[in-house]
Structure 1
């Protein structure tokens, strides 16, 4: 059985139920000084062991595999779609400003073209149902070639000329790609909001699933960046991708890696969201990207702590770096410790509606530090424990004893 949704990467054998061993490694991480992510240690020997697919307990959300969309170039500006307009999850705030589904304004700085894949992309399996095979890309790690697994979730009624934003979803330590798919109600979300979700599976040989800790080698970090590049290239080869809206979000261990990805691939990303993640201390430091992108930084308050990491501290470290670099920050503090964000959504809305809307409200062409929220205010469906700017969020006053760390 899987453990808590936001299970901390440092829980390892203590709390997450993962097959991780070596108390010495955990102790080393807890006490080591942060190191620069630009070091050049040698590649870590990799194994070809992969996570078991479809081992999650519980029912699926009813999504079925869909056919793939036609491939088109990503170098042209976004065009209008023939599908129905995206259904708002959160309210009317987005009607006043340009969003990811709109054409960019004249003279806007656009995202670079998505690079072509260096090999032959597989024909992508789209959607997910129990027993379905994952998509596979080979990756050379040292002397070994490993198979990297990922899900691609697209609108079931996507038309070939519909230009779709893309978001990458990085799972937590005690979870798998399928868990993010289920907990996020991702198929319904992409159907309603008109985007593609790419959900990578951790490769299986890293102590903390994703390379974000001070003891992870730079070679492992660069390998994960390359995996991101390869997935994006192959999705763009098969779908009509909106390159102006490529985003990333993660939960706990996945959030810690998402901050690293924002630094390493900031020239491609339009925004990112960190859900109980951050930088500093035992986590690799922030790397300033060339492109200044809006960020949602969310955590569970002063007790968002799990064994060895204070997620309030790492989230604040990330915020301080973003503020110093001139990035727009939406700060969210739900005050429910290390647990699933209790997003307030109405019946019929997807579970993570505010997350998807933040992504879709912030295309690449926004000027440094700019957000439509500065001019029009936070959309009415966003939680009232979110605020613009570092140090401005007001957590809910009522007690909240949720904790999914154990």
Structure 2
């Protein structure tokens, strides 16, 4: 395993170096951006600013609808014919409704996914070495920059298969390809039946994603808009299950995921923080989202520390805010310091199977503060170092000397 997988940014001249062989994002930008807008994209984006109105990015009450069935989504443009493949239902044993099930009668559903403000490109799906990333233009700092991302979908997706979507935000020393590789993402989406969107950080931000107290609000709103644009274009090309749109990140990506949860809580069904959090003096505080959503908060114990960031402190700060706001929390403490979570998985499952299962176990239409785990218990496939509620997880007692900071 390469050193620095979860290497975290710090507010000092010291900063974790990039992994050997990792590449920097090729997009350009500035950290003093004052606007964040979507622009039309047909082929290569222009290099001149547009006049499209900006999105203020504030968390607002999302419009919801009450219905007896799933919402209509855009018709997919890709896929194969025939019946959708059998979905891996994870470890719940079919005891409760999940993202691939129809919502119960009278459920409050997610708002429709907003249309993109320009022309979406035809998305390249999947990834192989040397493949070009998908590109969306974004107005930043008086010019247009190219924002890059990967879209990973089941290779045998059927045209009418409604697919959940999860966003994966990479760590400081990594990039989108690293998350794709480390997460075995193609096999995961094939097995669990979802779409993974893996953004690439842009240049111009010192710590890849805007989550520190020195990052401007304009930069934060720009990243929220990038999320909006990616989701809109994925929903245009695929039949997206808008009741299952989640976000997760690792280290620096997890710190940003908590900010996204506050800013786009009207859209997200759940989020997962893997060695992330809020507060602690250097990280932006928690922002209460528009609705309550289930969260997995995971870290590596009292020694999950990287240079000046105490991830136990930031994770506990996030937990306390979630608890005070009435959100469901699954707390997980693996006690392996600042390192890849040692998820236990069944033979044939991918390395992050419990993470994907948590996402798929928590649709948007759950009641505020609700989780099926409260009634049925934490599924057997989840680590035994996870527990419902703040302060309830019991970390493993065996020594674990891993540290990837």
TM-score interval, smaller chain: 0.7 to 0.9
Give, in angstroms, the shift of residue 44 of structure 1: 6.0
Equivalent residue of 2:247, what SS? strand
Contact preservation (8 Å) 1:169, 1:199: yes
Q: Kindly report which structure 2 residues correspond to 1:221-240, keeping only aligned pairs within 5 A, or say none.
A: 221-240=220-239
Give, in angstroms, the shift of residue 86 of structure 1: 1.3
Give, in angstroms, the shift of residue 337 of structure 1: 0.2
Q: In the aligned structure 1, how far is the partner of 2:11 from the partner of 2:127?
A: 29
Equivalent residue of 1:101, what SS? coil
Question: What is the match of residue 352 of structure 2?
Answer: 352
Question: What is the match of residue 88 of structure 2?
Answer: 87
TM-score (norm 1): 0.84
Contact preservation (8 Å) 1:78, 1:103: no
Equivalent residue of 1:206, what SS? coil
Q: Kindly report which structure 2 residues correspond to 1:14-163, keeping only aligned pairs within 5 A, or say none.
A: 14=14, 16-18=16-18, 43=33, 75-76=71-72, 82-89=83-90, 91=91, 93-163=92-162
Q: In the aligned structure 2, how far is the partner of 1:42 from the partner of 1:218?
A: 9
Equivalent residue of 1:354, what SS? helix
Equivalent residue of 1:10, what SS? coil
**Structure 1 segments (4+ residues) deviating >4 Å:** 11-15
Question: What is the match of residue 363 of structure 2?
Answer: 363
Question: What is the match of residue 259 of structure 1?
Answer: 258
Give, in angstroms, the shift of residue 347 of structure 1: 2.4
Question: What is the match of residue 7 of structure 1?
Answer: 7
Q: In the aligned structure 2, how far is the partner of 1:328 from the partner of 1:260?
A: 17
**How many residues are aligned here?**
354
Equivalent residue of 2:10, what SS? helix
Contact preservation (8 Å) 1:2, 1:175: no
Q: Which runs of 5+ in 2 are unaligned?
A: 20-30, 37-69, 76-81
Q: Kindly report which structure 2 residues correspond to 1:171-210, keeping only aligned pairs within 5 A, or say none.
A: 171-210=170-209
Task: Go from structure 1 to structure 2 and tell me whether the alpha carbon gap of 1:78 and 1:355 turns closer, same or farther (over 3 Å shift).
Answer: farther
Q: In the aligned structure 2, how far is the partner of 1:11 from the partner of 1:403?
A: 20
Question: What is the match of residue 322 of structure 1?
Answer: 322
Question: What is the match of residue 283 of structure 1?
Answer: 283
Give, in angstroms, the shift of residue 118 of structure 1: 0.2
TM-score (norm 2): 0.84
Q: In the aligned structure 2, how far is the partner of 1:367 from the partner of 1:149?
A: 35
Contact preservation (8 Å) 1:45, 1:144: no
Equivalent residue of 2:258, what SS? helix
Give, in angstroms, the shift of residue 77 of structure 1: 7.6
Equivalent residue of 2:243, what SS? strand
1:126-184 deviation per Cα after TM superposition (whole angstroms, max 9, x unaligned): 00000100000000002111000000000000011000000000000000000000000
Contact preservation (8 Å) 2:150, 2:199: yes
More helix by share: 1
Give, in angstroms, the shift of residue 291 of structure 1: 1.2
Equivalent residue of 2:85, what SS? coil
Task: Go from structure 1 to structure 2 and tell me whether the alpha carbon gap of 1:15 and 1:347 turns closer, same or farther (over 3 Å shift).
Answer: farther
Contact preservation (8 Å) 1:78, 1:102: no
Contact preservation (8 Å) 1:77, 1:103: no
RMSD (Å) for aligned C-alpha atoms: 2.2
Q: In the aligned structure 1, how far is the partner of 2:115 from the partner of 2:130?
A: 30
Give, in angstroms, the shift of residue 4 of structure 1: 2.0
Q: Which runs of 5+ in 1 are unaligned?
A: 20-40, 47-73
Q: In the aligned structure 1, how far is the partner of 2:306 from the partner of 2:403?
A: 9
Question: What is the match of residue 164 of structure 1?
Answer: 163
Q: In the aligned structure 2, how far is the partner of 1:15 from the partner of 1:230?
A: 30
1:40-90 deviation per Cα after TM superposition (whole angstroms, max 9, x unaligned): x963699xxxxxxxxxxxxxxxxxxxxxxxxxxx942899x931221245x
